[in-house]
Amino acid sequence: MDRLTRYVFRQALMVTLSVGVIFSAAVWLLQSLRLVDLIVNRGLSIGLFLYLAVLILPRFIDVVLPIAIFTAILFVYAKLISESELVVMRASGMSQWGLAKPALLIGAAGMIALYAMAFYFLPASNRAFKDLQFEIRNKFAAALIQEGVFNTLSDTLMVYVRKRDARGDLLGLLIQNTTDRDKPVTISAERGALVDTPDGPHILMVNGIRQEYDHLTGKLSSLSFKSYTLDLTDLRNAPTLRDRQPDELYLGEILKDLDNPALVVELNMRLAGPLMALSMAVIPILCLLPGEFNRRGQARRVLIAVAVALAMEIVDVGLTNLARSTTSVISLIYLNALAPFLATLWLTWRAGAVRTPRALLARRAVR
């Protein structure tokens, strides 16, 4: 790598990292706010919230990185043109390939990073996130009681809480327990608290009434109490296994079951997706490098590059959604992802092929 290539590559890399971090942080922060409900209304710890927030981060990096690469390459090359640095590089004998090389290197690095995300980090994070989500729903159901909502903790237990106080105690409790279908139980209490004991989770209640209706005899029995404990250990009998979704499977697991159309689509999505990083890197090259230098600026070419990148993203999203129902469009996804890169190779080759005869003619004229 010569000095000029290193100069452009260093600028593009620094801008890519900066834009990528800013975009990822912004999207991650917005999405993480949705998880605040787990702390405010469902009583989970801050540590668990932070762990869940970290697990969703790879999803945003996978989406943001191609956009960051495109933004950085477009900015750096537009800046080089506006400050006439690109003109000086051409005058020094730098070819079209040499000018495009830093962008291609950035795109290739981004593509490798996205392949690492697609084949390991994304499946790992999706698996951990959904496993924890499943565990929260089934094993920690007692801790997920929301205010003002009829919370169904199991097939036989429903809990309503009017609100929580500053200490986390439950105020205005109403519980419907149908474990015994012939004798359903309704409990109301002024206040209560969730307690996790070695024997399992319990709800401790004070100042309430327990009513039991016997369907066989038609009698209603009522019991007033100052303190009462409801055992929730049956919630531990919730299912502990679940089916893995395609986005949670590693490459080896997908290759073992290619008879499944959903896994075939998932495999191709992982193979084609990272190619967008390479294409997003060359779109600014296609729009800015060809043609002569314009002193009035490059606004038109910049807008064309933005329009092409936006169109590519829209087409990619549409084809990806369509591929889940019609696998015949998978080849179009590869074509959409590779088209800018192939066009760049062709233009670079054409520029070199045109320049070589001209250079030979110039040398002969000198002689």
Summarize pLDDT for 159-187 with one digit per residue, the tens. 898 888 877 788 999 999 888 888 999 99
Residue 352: pLDDT band (50, 70, 90) is: low
Q: For residue 242, is it within any domain?
A: no
Q: Are residues 151 and 87 in the same domain?
A: no
The arithmetic mean of pLDDT across residues 197-201, rounded, is 71
Q: Are residues 163 and 130 in the same domain?
A: no
Q: For residue 128, is it within any domain?
A: yes
Which positions ≥6 away from 230 have C-beta within 8 Å?
175, 177, 187, 202, 203, 205
Q: For residue 298, is it within any domain?
A: yes
DSSP state letters, 29-47? HHHHGGGHHHHHTT---HH
- pLDDT of 43: 56
Q: Are residues 154 and 127 in the same domain?
A: no
- pLDDT of 360: 38
Q: Which domain holds residue 212?
A: 145-237
Which positions ≥6 away from 302 have C-beta within 8 Å?
74, 78, 287, 288
pLDDT at 136 over 70: no
The arithmetic mean of pLDDT across residues 98-110, rounded, is 92
Of 189, 205, 237, which marks where a domain is finished? 237
Q: Over the chain, what is the mean pLDDT? A: 83
Q: For residue 197, is it within any domain?
A: yes
Q: Which of 32-36, 37-41, 52-56, 200-204 has the highest mean pLDDT?
A: 52-56
Of 176, 207, 237, which marks where a domain is finished? 237
Q: Are residues 184 and 276 in the same domain?
A: no
Which pLDDT tens digit goes with each residue over 277-315? Answer: 999 999 999 888 876 656 566 788 899 999 999 999 999
Q: Are residues 346 and 273 in the same domain?
A: yes
Q: Are residues 132 and 155 in the same domain?
A: no
- pLDDT of 357: 43
Q: Are residues 300 and 225 in the same domain?
A: no
Q: For residue 245, is it within any domain?
A: no
Q: For residue 196, is it within any domain?
A: yes
Q: Are residues 86 and 153 in the same domain?
A: no
Of 183, 207, 237, which marks where a domain is finished? 237
- pLDDT of 109: 95
Q: Are residues 319 and 231 in the same domain?
A: no
User: In terms of Cα–Cα distance, which of 352, 353, 312, 318 is closest to 336?
Assistant: 312
Residue 361: pLDDT band (50, 70, 90) is: very low
If one counts every other C-beta atom within 10 angstroms of the C-beta of residue 281, the result is 31
Instruction: Give the orientation angle of helix 299-323 with respect to helix 330-366, to 10 degrees.
Output: 150
Residue 88: pLDDT band (50, 70, 90) is: confident
Determine what percent of the chain is predicted with pLDDT higher than 90: 40
Q: Are residues 124 and 157 in the same domain?
A: no
Q: Which residues of 179-188 are buried (b: 16+ CB within 10 A; e: fewer)?
A: eeeebbbbbe
The model's pTM? 0.72
Q: Are residues 233 and 260 in the same domain?
A: no
Our count of domains for the chain comes to 2
Q: Are residues 126 and 189 in the same domain?
A: no
